[in-house]
Amino acid sequence: EENGHQNKKLKKDASEEDAEDQNKKLPKRKIVLLMAYSGKGYHGMQRNVGSSQFKTIEDDLVCALVQSGCIPENHGEDMKKMSFQRCARTDKGVSAAGQIVSLKVRLVDDILEKINTHLPSHIRILGLKRVTGGFNSKNKCDARTYSYMLPTFAFAHKDHDVQEEVYRLDRETLEKVNRLLACYKGTHNFHNFTSQKGPRDPSAKRYIMEMYCGEPFVRENVEFAVIKVKGQSFMMHQIRKMIGLVIAIVKGYAAESILERSWGEEKVDVPKAPGLGLVLERVHFEKYNRRFGNDGLHEPLEWTQEEEKIAAFKEQYIYPTIINTEREEKSMANWLNTLSIHDFNSSAVGMQVNNKSSKNSSDLEGSDGCGD
């Protein structure tokens, strides 16, 4: 029996070595992977080699790439060797339905199936496409679309006593929300919507293509809505602060005039909404698609065939995580209680209070920061 067991083990080891040898002979090719993941419990997307106590999405991805034979083990330790680049650097707790990474891999048989076998179920590779040799997913990206899912009681006026499960957003309030969100469209100086950027820093100017709140829907007795925003690129915390300021105005804590003021040179106290509801929806490669999408060698980077899989993943992993975490931890309800501390009229005092309150809260870092 022992000999039989040993023979089986030797055969298995030999077949694994054969597979590895076959993999080594495969040429490396530049590809992009379409990724979806639920970010809860992770310290963001980007891998920090050497700090294993902060687990990231890329830690699990690199592990799966090595185990599936797509990359040699040493490429996992030095990601430059496989020309790895993520399109957006989602931060702590933030999810994605359409993240794109570019890298060089060995195109093993059944590659997607093999990678997914070695990934936890809340991280999936949903698609793969061949790209040009010099492709870089971050530099070639023209725009990013994010969504932010929030309970609609966030928009209830501060003077009204609101029962969270009973509250329903009325048409008039939704129209006001959308009118304010539309003010962000175009190019503005967003230095007040991030940290460590002065009003004269050219990189604080950002271009927003669209921003709106969709129709509300009820889940687990609570009404939710999803805000969508498409922009060229976003700075750290920019989206969460854009949404935070609109909530403060709709609730009656701040005057509408604060929007115009926030784009000026003075320092304005802009509250930062919780990170929980933020999701990277998709990334856009319009220029690349025009140039290479129909050249006969490459496909356009569009994912219409994967839309159903993306929608199913959101329903199974992303939305339930946001809803259940909101119900258990009440991140939005607790954050709304801090709005009264902010001083929306004068800037200096309010900023000090804001800094103290944000340090004290258990903050989920939202990852709007793709470019900086």
Question: What pLDDT, in 10s, does the model give residues 27-50?
Answer: 889 999 999 999 988 988 988 776
Binding residues: 146
**Looking at residue 358, what is its pLDDT?**
43
Q: Is 368's pLDDT higher than 70? A: no
Return the CATH architecture of domain 28-140: 2-Layer Sandwich (3.30)
Q: Is 223's pLDDT higher than 80? A: yes
Instruction: Give percent above pLDDT 70 in the chain.
Output: 85
**Looking at residue 3, what is its pLDDT?**
63
87 near 141, Cβ under 8 Å? yes
Q: pLDDT digits over 339-358, tens only?
A: 999 988 865 444 444 444 44
Q: Report the length, in residues, of the chain.
A: 372
Phi first, then psi: what are they for 194, rounded to 5°?
-150, 180
Considering only 78-82, 158-162, 201-205, 319-323, which range has the smallest mean pLDDT?
78-82
Rounded mean pLDDT, 270-298: 91
**Looking at residue 15, what is its pLDDT?**
53
**Looking at residue 328, what is its pLDDT?**
93
The Cα–Cα gap between 13 and 84 comes to 30
Kindly state the tokens that stand for 311.
Answer: 């929608």
**Looking at residue 64, what is its pLDDT?**
95
Phi first, then psi: what are they for 308, rounded to 5°?
-65, -40
* Residue 66: CB atoms within 10 Å: 17
Binding residues for substrate: 146
**Looking at residue 16, what is its pLDDT?**
54
Rounded mean pLDDT, 193-198: 90
pTM: 0.85
The Cα–Cα gap between 77 and 152 comes to 44
The Cα–Cα gap between 125 and 211 comes to 28
Kindly state the tokens that stand for 141.
Answer: 């990206």
Rounded mean pLDDT, 4-32: 66
Rounded mean pLDDT, 92-104: 93
Nearest to 316 by CA among 99, 124, 56: 124
Q: How confident is the model at residue 105 (pLDDT cuts 50, 70, 90)?
A: very high
147 bridge partner residues: 228, 279
Q: How confident is the model at residue 359 (pLDDT cuts 50, 70, 90)?
A: very low
- Greater confidence (243 vs 165) lies with 243
Q: Give the C-alpha distances (Å, rounded to integers) separating 229 from 43, 141, 199, 367, 368.
A: 23, 16, 23, 13, 11
Q: Is 252's pLDDT higher than 50? A: yes
Average pLDDT, rounded, for the chain: 87
**Looking at residue 355, what is its pLDDT?**
47
Considering only 77-86, 283-292, 334-343, 354-363, which range has the smallest mean pLDDT?
354-363
- Range(s) within the chain of domains with CATH label 3.30.70.580: 28-140
**Looking at residue 360, what is its pLDDT?**
39
Q: Is 122's pLDDT higher than 80? A: yes
Q: Is 129's pLDDT higher than 60? A: yes
Tell me which CATH code domain 143-289+297-345 carries: 3.30.70.660
- Range(s) within the chain of domains with CATH label 3.30.70.660: 143-289+297-345
Q: How confident is the model at residue 256 (pLDDT cuts 50, 70, 90)?
A: very high
Q: Is 254's pLDDT higher than 80? A: yes
Q: Is 211's pLDDT higher than 70? A: yes
* Residue 313: CB atoms within 10 Å: 25
Q: Is 143's pLDDT higher than 90? A: yes
Task: With both helix axes pointing from N to C terminus, report the angle between 171-182 and 238-250 in degrees, rounded to the nearest 10.
Answer: 140
The residues carrying an active-site annotation are 91
Nearest to 189 by CA among 129, 259, 282, 126: 259
